[in-house]
Amino acid sequence: MTPESTGRQRPARAPFSLRNAWHDVNTRAWIYQVLVVAGILGLAAYLIANAQHALAKQGISTGFSFLDARAGFEIGEKSIAFSSTDSFLRAYGVAILNTLKVSGASILLATVVGVVVGLGRLSTNPLMRKLASIYVEVFRNTPQLIQLVFWYTLIANLPRPREALSLGGAVFLSNRGLAVPWLADHAAPWILAAVVLAAFAAGGAARAVLARLARRHGRPWPGAALGSLAAAALPLAAGVALLWPLEITTPALRGFNFQGGLTLSPEFVALLLGLSLYIAAFIAEIVRSGVQSVGRGQIEAAHAVGLGRSDLYLKIIFPQALRVMVPPAAGQYVSIIKNSSLGVAIGYPELFNVNNTIVTLSGHTVEAIAIMMSIYLAISFVIAALMNLYNRCVQIRER
Amino acid sequence: MSAAMQNASSSEPIVVLDKVNKWYGDFHVLRDVSLAVGRGEKIVICGPSGSGKSTSIRCINRLEEHQEGRIVVDGTEVDADMRRIEAVRRKVGMVFQSFNLFPHLTVLDNLTVGPVRAQGVRVDEARARALELLKRVRIPEQALKYPGQLSGGQQQRVAIARALMLQPQVMLFDEPTSALDPEMIHEVLDVMTELAQAGMTMICVTHEMSFARKVADLIVFMDAGEIVEAAPPEEFFGAPKSERTRLFLSQVLH
Amino acid sequence: MGQSALVSRAVVAQGRRRPPPQGKGGLLPWLRRNLFRSPLNALATLLSLWVLFVTLPRLLGWAVADAVWFSPDAEACKQAAGACWAVVPEKYRVMLFGTFPYDEQWRGMLVIAIILGLALYCALARPSARTVAASWMAAMALVFVLMLGGVAGLEPVSTHQWGGLPLTLIMFVGTVVGGVPLGVVLALGRRSSMPAIRAVCVGFIEVVRGLPLVTVLFMASLMLPLFMPEGMSIDKFLRAQLAMTLFFAAYAAEVVRGGLQAVGKGQYEAADTVGLNYRQKMIYIVLPQVGRIVLPAMMNEIIRAFKNTTFIGIIGMFDVLRATSTAIQDPVWVRYSIEAYLFIALLYLAMCYGMSRYSARLENELTVRR
């Protein structure tokens, strides 16, 4: 072996033999993977063959063309018009809107209640702390389905509309649901919701862009705050202009039921309570651990530089706690959306419930279930992606 | 700082602890601690861990509560009255062992948030003062960075600048270099020495004996919650009176 | 520093160790300090007290003072203004045992006693892992024999007739016993360097976690028969158990994944250098440490799995909740459904609260020991 050849030639390979290949780490990996994939594909093929055979036997075709067929059933609650002559596709639309409606309201209520109870847990007042703890332990340790059925039964046992319980003569609670004053234009709330979201988005985006510009200058720029406020105000102004004048109607008893305003069905109210109050207990814990995660040293430093209580919370604790709280809170929100499927237990026409009907009426079990699965998965993934985006934006910069 | 220099001749102590006692539950953690600090003078408190030295200075700005005894800072007594506590905290600056900078704010914001929010100082004025102080602690170029992007020594210097923003009459240091890597300790001690030479009244809890020897007017040795010995540096290091002091010095000076 | 006259001075202490001064004792100072410290605090206290004063007396009146505890034909309940707890003694057999044959329900009782008893024993006496595993296997074998019957002179009872608390407990134990190992396997697979295995595991975990449990249960009970060959049918109980186990495993996998990441890289490397292969490394070095790290989160998932057993009612199995709903459809008792639901809610509350207290205690011990 000459000195030159040692540097430039690759070492000779071990002779190929099956024995050597078996022990080679890479070959082993390939073999495992091929086996696993082949196994799964084989199983899938076998199952699908069975299914196709069974469906053919029942004379059911496959494919998604059934979506255009006549639905043939009514849906009790709907945000858009729907009758039994409309298509299955439209039925899905109604179901998705119902799911989003109850999930959105539940997310809001759960957050409000959860934050209040969470802050109560942190209170220096032992009475408040105890009350908040009792709430968390009771609502967290009772299964959600029991809570849901409980609320539904409670509402069903309320008096009739004629003897409804009323709050201030404007809000009425009876076994036909909760009647509240509402905007006369039924599309208005959706527009308002969209406008508020747009304002938040615009304000947030403007603030991020302007802050980056300010940092580039090296000097603080007062225009940043004003700019983001203006950006947020634009959608709000547009919304108000669109909806003016805002008419409000109040529910009034006519005959056996209430007319005017907005009546939330017993199913909706029960599902709203069953979803929110349970998750609120978890959000309370998330808020509590988020605030407690801000180290004691931060609080002492804030006191040492003279920050008062409200400044301490607003500028020091809240921003840091928020970073810790948002990911698990988002998980809870996704949980609300998924658990809206419990509406099937009390007859609220959300996605799962309506899908069951569609399966029964159309016979296209596999396609319908695939559609439902995709919708739930899509919602979960969208929220997960938004969460990742949020996390990336608020990372505390480190070396 | 100029106020302290003007009053250097005054013979009234600016901080007085009089027979201060504190208990954690049943544990008697501060026993009859009595200490007076003159304007412009530097006190170093040392002692083994658990001796109550940090607790003592934390009682001065009411981060801890004392159960018996009196604490008076520049004429204001430290007790449960919120207004008096806030007044004392405005006169006293504190530097912590673990820096306690606000990680989500830039260095500049860390310095200005207190004066702007709590004292109503105008933003541009606060920022100008902050940049001045950053120059004094020799890191003006880090103004817009976040604490996580700085080294430990730089972070502690920012913390010192932040405490100075209040224009305090007394500076408390709670083991300021204990959490630093050895090569960064001297940059912080340099800043503290400069501060001392400019006439600031300082109470430092520290293990850095060379700093104490150079800077301190009085060295106080505490053990098990009580003051065991107090003397100027030459006397303290040269001729310690108590056996416990001698034991401690033999462990610390090697 | 030579100064002529130092103002600073310190007094060398003469104090002895003393006990703390008796606090200004009495109720009034305590109240003032804790409940009325500031105006806001005082307001909060008064608000809470007002809420309590308004609701508590009425609640206690309904639930205790005016309540009827025993009334075989509900007559007394109709007259009373308070709660009709009498529904419980009347209907408890259906609520707790579902559709299990009436004369054989003692077997269900025995099953409940075995499972709860063993759980309490393992929680309190803390036997070794080997004892725990062996005793649970023996217990579950006995449980299945009792529930299925057909041997030792016991009447055979098909799984269609299983119901109530025994069904809930069996489903729960099966979910955890099957789901935890499967979750570990999935978590390990997710970290595998082989892309196909990783893809399969990630795909499974993400899809199952993105779906509601009722849909997974529904798919198992409805779709699985479709995919089976002609004539072969899987017991409904097994289908539901499979669905619950797979669902739990996906969540357990994420918990274990967090633990695997938390075990420092150095541990893996050290295990490699002392000559352990993959299997040994995992079993003897990594997983024991992972177990200690993830115990709190895993207990959370386990408690959640227990609450989730109520969902099997939606696919037609008679767990405690569905059995109760069915029981109170009796026209005599239907207006007292609230009391029945409160009863089972309290039952679950007690069990879940017990589990979460136990989990907190475990967590405390683990942090102290480290």
Q: How far apart are the first and last CA of chain B?
A: 35
Contacts (Cβ under 8 Å, ≥6 apart) of C40: none
Residues 29-68 of A with CB under 8 A from C: 29, 32-34, 36-37, 40, 47-48, 50-51, 53-55
Helix H segments across A218-265?
223-243
Segment holding A194, helix H or strand E: helix A188-217
**What's the whole-model pTM score?**
0.82
Question: Would the pLDDT of A191 be above 80?
Answer: no
Chain A residue numbers touching C321 (CB-CB < 8 A) = 143, 145-146, 149
**pLDDT of the residue at A282:** 95
**CA C214/CA A352 separation, integer angstroms:** 8
**CA B246/CA B235 separation, integer angstroms:** 12
**CA A2/CA A21 separation, integer angstroms:** 31
Specify the 3-state DSSP secondary structure of A253. strand
Cβ <8 Å between C7 and B39: yes
What digits encode the pLDDT tens for the residues A62-95? Answer: 777 777 787 778 888 877 778 878 888 888 999 9
Which CA distances in Å does C194 have to A30, A36, A96, C199?
8, 11, 39, 9
B247 touches chain A (CB under 8 A): no
Q: Which of B102, B118, B148 sits opposite A308 (nearest CB)?
A: B118
Dihedral sign from CA coordinates of B137, B143, B145, B146: positive
Length of chain C: 370
**pLDDT of the residue at A40:** 87
**pLDDT of the residue at B6:** 46
Residue of C nearest to A384 (CA): C210
A396 touches chain B (CB under 8 A): yes
User: From the CB of residue B20, how many other CB atoms can be counted at a distance below 10 Å?
Assistant: 24
Q: What is the mean pLDDT of residues C10-14?
A: 80
ipTM above 0.90, yes or no: no
**CA B156/CA B153 separation, integer angstroms:** 5
Q: Which of C41, C196, C313 sits opposite A125 (nearest CB)?
A: C41
- Starting at the edge strand found earlier in the chain, the sheet holding A171-174 runs A165-167, A171-174, A177-180, A262-264
Segment holding C192, helix H or strand E: none
> Considering only CA atoms, which of B182, B178, B176 is closest in space to residue B196?
B176
Question: Would the pLDDT of B163 be above 70?
Answer: yes
Q: Which of B118, B144, B148 sits opposite A218 (nearest CB)?
A: B144
Comparison of pLDDT for C1 and A81, the residue scoring more: A81
Strand partners, A252: A259
Q: Which CATH class is domain A88-184+247-393?
A: mainly alpha
Please, which chains are in contact with C (at least 3 CB pairs closer than 8 A)?
Answer: A, B
**pLDDT of the residue at A4:** 47
| Per-chain mean pLDDT for chain C | 86
B205 touches chain C (CB under 8 A): no
Residue with tokens 């669905």: C243
Question: Would the pLDDT of B8 be above 90?
Answer: no
**CA B69/CA B17 separation, integer angstroms:** 8
**pLDDT of the residue at A218:** 55
Comparison of pLDDT for A70 and A153, the residue scoring more: A153
Please, which chains are in contact with A (at least 3 CB pairs closer than 8 A)?
Answer: B, C
What is the fold, at CATH topology level, of the domain defined by B2-252?
A: Rossmann fold (3.40.50)
Lowest mean pLDDT, pick from A15-24, B175-184, C77-86: A15-24
| Per-chain mean pLDDT for chain B | 89
Chain A residue numbers touching B165 (CB-CB < 8 A) = 305
Which CA distances in Å does C360 have to A52, A254, A294, C370?
51, 55, 22, 16
Chain C residue numbers touching A137 (CB-CB < 8 A) = 353, 356
Residue-range domain boundaries for chain A = 23-59, 88-184+247-393, 185-246
Cβ <8 Å between C12 and B228: yes
**CA B123/CA B132 separation, integer angstroms:** 14
**pLDDT of the residue at C352:** 95
Give the whole-number percent of chain C exceeding pLDDT 70. 95
Cβ <8 Å between C6 and B23: no
C290 close to C259: Cβ distance less than 8 angstroms: yes
Question: Would the pLDDT of C68 be above 80?
Answer: yes
Q: What is the mean pLDDT of residues A45-56?
A: 80
**CA A291/CA A283 separation, integer angstroms:** 12
What digits encode the pLDDT tens for the residues C287-333? Answer: 888 888 888 899 999 999 999 999 999 998 999 999 999 998 888 88
Contacts (Cβ under 8 Å, ≥6 apart) of C367: none
Cβ <8 Å between B67 and C13: no
B19 close to B68: Cβ distance less than 8 angstroms: yes
Chain B residue numbers touching A304 (CB-CB < 8 A) = 61, 63, 89, 92-94, 96, 163
A305 touches chain B (CB under 8 A): yes
For residue A31 the two structure tokens come to 């073999």
Q: Which of B63, B89, B104 sits opposite A306 (nearest CB)?
A: B89
**pLDDT of the residue at C113:** 92
**CA C106/CA A71 separation, integer angstroms:** 49
Which CA distances in Å does A203 have to A330, B172, C8, C27, C299?
21, 42, 57, 52, 41
Cβ <8 Å between B36 and C7: yes
Dihedral angle of Cα C231, C235, C236, C240, to the nearest 10 degrees: -120
| Residue A74 φ then ψ, to 5° | -100, 155
B226 close to B32: Cβ distance less than 8 angstroms: yes
- Starting at the edge strand found earlier in the chain, the sheet holding C9-11 runs B76-77, B68-73, B13-24, B27-38, C9-11
Shortest CA gap C15–chain B (Å) = 6
> Considering only CA atoms, which of B17, B123, B9, B130 is closest in space to residue B78?
B17
Cβ <8 Å between C314 and A345: yes
Residue type, B67: Q
Question: Would the pLDDT of B67 be above 70?
Answer: yes
**pLDDT of the residue at A112:** 95
Strand partners, B24: B27
**CA A387/CA A393 separation, integer angstroms:** 10
Cβ <8 Å between C14 and B41: no
Question: Would the pLDDT of A272 be above 80?
Answer: yes
CA atoms in the 13 A half-sphere facing the CB of C287: 15
For residue A28 the two structure tokens come to 């082993």
Tally C-beta pairs within 8 A across A and C: 148
**pLDDT of the residue at A109:** 96
b/e string for B166-190 if b means 16 or more Cβ within 10 A?
A: bebbbbbbbbbbeebeeebbbbbbe
Q: What is the mean pLDDT of residues A179-195?
A: 75
C25 touches chain B (CB under 8 A): no
> Considering only CA atoms, which of A153, A183, A179 is closest in space to residue A164?
A179
Confidence label for B4 from pLDDT (cuts 50, 70 and 90): very low
Contacts (Cβ under 8 Å, ≥6 apart) of B62: B78, B85, B88, B89
What is the fold, at CATH topology level, of the domain defined by C87-100+157-369?
A: MetI-like fold (1.10.3720)
β-bridge pairing B218-223 and B201-205: unpaired
Question: Would the pLDDT of A147 be above 60?
Answer: yes
Confidence label for C335 from pLDDT (cuts 50, 70 and 90): confident
Cβ <8 Å between B227 and C12: yes
Lowest mean pLDDT, pick from A83-97, A145-159, B52-66: A83-97
**CA B134/CA B110 separation, integer angstroms:** 12
**CA B163/CA B195 separation, integer angstroms:** 12
> Considering only CA atoms, which of C312, C346, B128 is closest in space to residue A342?
C312
Give the whole-number percent of chain C exceeding pLDDT 90. 34
Question: Would the pLDDT of C59 be above 60?
Answer: yes
A297 touches chain B (CB under 8 A): yes
Q: Which of A127, A142, A344 sits opposite C348 (nearest CB)?
A: A142
What digits encode the pLDDT tens for the residues B80-127? Answer: 887 888 888 889 999 999 888 888 888 998 898 888 877 778 888 999
Shortest CA gap A126–chain B (Å) = 19
Residue-range domain boundaries for chain B = 2-252
Specify the 3-state DSSP secondary structure of B42. strand
Cβ <8 Å between B118 and A305: yes
Comparison of pLDDT for A197 and C352, the residue scoring more: C352
Question: Would the pLDDT of A171 be above 90?
Answer: no
